[in-house]
């Protein structure tokens, strides 16, 4: 019976130090720096494969573990099937008893609600910014003239890989620029 920790931050610039300090009593800690919305979290997958019957998976908060209530329930079912308890330190949850399981499910639903409210606010903010004429997203790397030139070269048979090299852009960017309507080039 071992305590196995899992720590996650959303981006490379963030630090795991606070979580690792709280998980210091765990025999093994899996850690990663990836968004919670990512489907590919290899260290979480490895952690879930590693835990054995009688172990406890220890995290600091529910939002560090799952990307949605559904995902949280799937992880909880997998842990239950393996007879592994879940301990959530900051929220004082331990699924080894009925009260802990009830609290776990209630907090999971509240966390999902908060995530959805946050997403609604973000969408509203983006909509209002667009109404004010704010340009969102990454600035184009190529000028309209360069895009027109790229499109012309491609229509003349220049290979995608050569366009990537010529303009120092990714394959996805080449295709995105090729799909754009022909920009008006001012002479």
Q: Between these two residues, 136 and 85, which has the higher pLDDT value?
A: 85
Rounded Cα distance, 159 and 153, in Å: 9
- What are the pLDDT digits (tens) for 42-91? 999 999 999 999 999 999 998 888 877 778 888 888 998 999 999 999 98
As annotated, the active-site residues are 10
- What are the pLDDT digits (tens) for 7-31? 998 876 788 999 999 999 999 999 9
Residue 82, phi then psi, degrees to nearest 5: -85, 0
Q: Using a pLDDT cut of 70, give the percent of the chain over it.
A: 94
Return the C-alpha torsion angle 39, 80, 82, 56, nearest 10: 90
pLDDT of 185 reads 52
pTM of the complete model? 0.58
Please, which residues have CB within 8 angstroms of residue 29's CB and are 6 or more apart in sequence? Answer: 4, 5, 6, 7, 20, 23
Rounded Cα distance, 80 and 102, in Å: 14
């Amino acid at each position: 019976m071992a305590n196995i920790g899992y720590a996650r931050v959303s981006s490379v610039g963030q630090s795991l130090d606070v979580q690792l300090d709280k998980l210091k009593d765990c025999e093994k800690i899996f850690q990663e720096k990836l968004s919670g919305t990512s489907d590919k979290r290899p260290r979480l997958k490895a952690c879930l494969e590693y835990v054995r019957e009688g172990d406890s998976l220890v995290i600091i908060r529910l939002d560090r573990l799952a990307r949605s209530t559904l995902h949280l329930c799937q992880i909880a079912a997998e842990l239950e099937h393996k007879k592994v308890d879940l301990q959530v330190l900051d929220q004082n949850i331990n699924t080894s008893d009925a009260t802990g399981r009830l609290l776990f499910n209630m907090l999971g639903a509240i966390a999902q609600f908060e995530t959805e409210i946050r997403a609604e606010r973000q969408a509203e903010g983006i909509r209002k910014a667009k109404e004010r004429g704010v340009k969102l997203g990454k600035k184009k790397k190529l000028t309209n003239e360069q895009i027109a030139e790229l499109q012309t070269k491609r229509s003349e048979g220049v290979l995608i890989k050569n366009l990537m090299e010529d303009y120092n852009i990714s394959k996805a960017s080449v295709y995105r620029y090729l799909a754009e309507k022909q920009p008006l080039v001012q002479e």
